[in-house]
Structure 1
C-alpha cells in the first residue's frame, strides 16, 4: 500500500470514529477524465473529510504555500500530492504544475472561496476554480461539506453531478468572467448545503 492510500484510510477511520460521517453521491466522481472537485471551506478538517470521500481517484489539492514552511508537514503534503500556491499572486510555474496534475489523471481539489470562511454563510468565489477547469479541460464536481465540526456530530459530504465548461474552452475570458463562472459553481454548493442541512 502506498503512502497516499495509507493516509486516506487513516482519514476514513478518523472521520467515522469521531463523527457521524456519511457521503452522498460518490457515484458522481467519474473513474477517469480530467476533473476538478470544488467544496466550501470552514474548517481545517475539510481536506480530511474530502479526501476520505473520494475512493476511486487520487486527489491533488491546492494549499497555501505558508504550510510548506513547516518541514515535516511539507514532506507529508508533498507525498499527498498537495500543490503549494501563493493565494494573492500565483506564479506561472504553479499554474503549470496544477494543470499538469489534472493532465496526469489526478483530481484537482480546490476551495472556490480561496480560504476558510469562519463566520456563517459563504464568501465570494475566486477566479482560480473555473480558470483551472477551463485551461485543464476538466469537468467540475461541486461538493458541499455540511457540518458543525463538533465531535461525534453529523458530517455530510454531498457530491453533485459534474458540470462542464466545454463551451468556454475556446473563449477569451478575463478575470471577471472566471470569477462569475466560479461563483456559479459555488451557488450550486450553497444550494446543496442548505437543502441537506435541514
Structure 2
C-alpha cells in the first residue's frame, strides 16, 4: 500500500469515528477527465474531509507555501501530493505543476477563497480557480463542507455537478474575468452550504 493510500485510509477512519461523516453526490466525480474540486474552507480539517470523500481519483491539493517551511512536514505534504502556492502571487512554475498534475489524471483540490473563513461567512473567490480550470481545460466540481467541526457532530460533504468553462477556452480573459468566474463557482458552494 502506498503512503498516500495509507494516509487516506487513516483520514477516512478518523472522519467516520470522530464525526457523523456523510458524503452526498460522490457520483458527480467522474472516473476520468480533467477536474478541479473547489470547496469552502473553514477549518484545517477541510483537506482531510475532501480527500476522504473522493474514492475514485487521487487528489493533489493546493496548499499555502508557508506549510512547507517545516522540512519534515514538507516531506509528508509532498508524499500526499500537496502543491505549494504563494497565495498572493502564484508563480508560473506553480501553474505548470498544477496543469501537469491535471494531465497525469489527478483531481486538483482547491479552496477558492484562498484562506480559511470561519463561521457561516464566506470570503471573496480568487482568480486562481477559474485560471487553472480554463488553462487546464478542466471541469470544476463545487463541494460544500457543512459542519460545526465539533467532535462527534455531523459533517456533510455535498458534491455538486461539474461546471464547464469550455466556452472560455479560446477567449482572452482579464484577472477580473477569472475572479468573476471563480465567484460563480463559490456562489454554488454557498447556495448548497446554506441549503443543507
Q: TM > 0.5 between the two? A: yes
Q: CA deviation at 1:157?
A: 0.1
The aligned counterpart of 1:104 is: 104
How many Å apart are 1:72 and its aligned residue?
Answer: 1.3
Match of 1:72 in 2: 72
Alignment partner, residue 116 of structure 1: 116
The reply on whether 1:20 has 2:17 as its aligned counterpart is: no
Runs of 4+ in 1 over 6 A off after TM superposition: none
SS in 1 for 2:72: helix
- Range with greater deviation from structure 2 (66-75 or 150-159): 66-75
What's the counterpart of residue 48 of structure 1?
48
Gap runs ≥5 in structure 2: none
CA distance in 1, matches of 2:90, 2:195: 34
Superposition pairs of residues 26-175 of structure 1, within 5 angstroms = 26-175=26-175
Quote the offset at 1:121 in angstroms: 1.0
| Residue matched to 1:2 | 2
Instruction: For residue 118 of structure 1, report the CA deviation from its aligned partner.
Output: 1.8
C-alpha distance in 1, partners of 2:195/2:41?
17
Q: Counterparts of 1:82 and 1:72 in 2: how far apart (Å)? A: 14
Describe the SS at the equivalent of 1:43.
coil
Q: Which moved more, 1:98-107 or 1:138-147?
A: 98-107
Moved more, 12-21 or 116-125: 116-125
What runs of 5+ residues in structure 1 fail to find an aligned partner? none
Q: Distance in 2 between matches of 1:131 and 1:125?
A: 12
Shift of 1:155: 0.1
RMSD (Å) for aligned C-alpha atoms:
0.6
What is the CA distance between 1:119 and its match in structure 2?
4.1
Q: How many residues align?
A: 196
- Aligned partners of 1:193 and 1:118: how far apart in 2? 13
Question: 1:103: Cα distance to partner?
Answer: 1.1
SS of equivalent to 2:13: helix
The alpha carbon displacement at 1:120 in A equals 3.0
Query: Equivalent residue of 2:115, what SS?
Result: coil
3-state SS of the aligned residue for 2:170?
Answer: coil
* SS in structure 2 of the partner of residue 171 of structure 1: coil
What's 2:183 paired with? 183
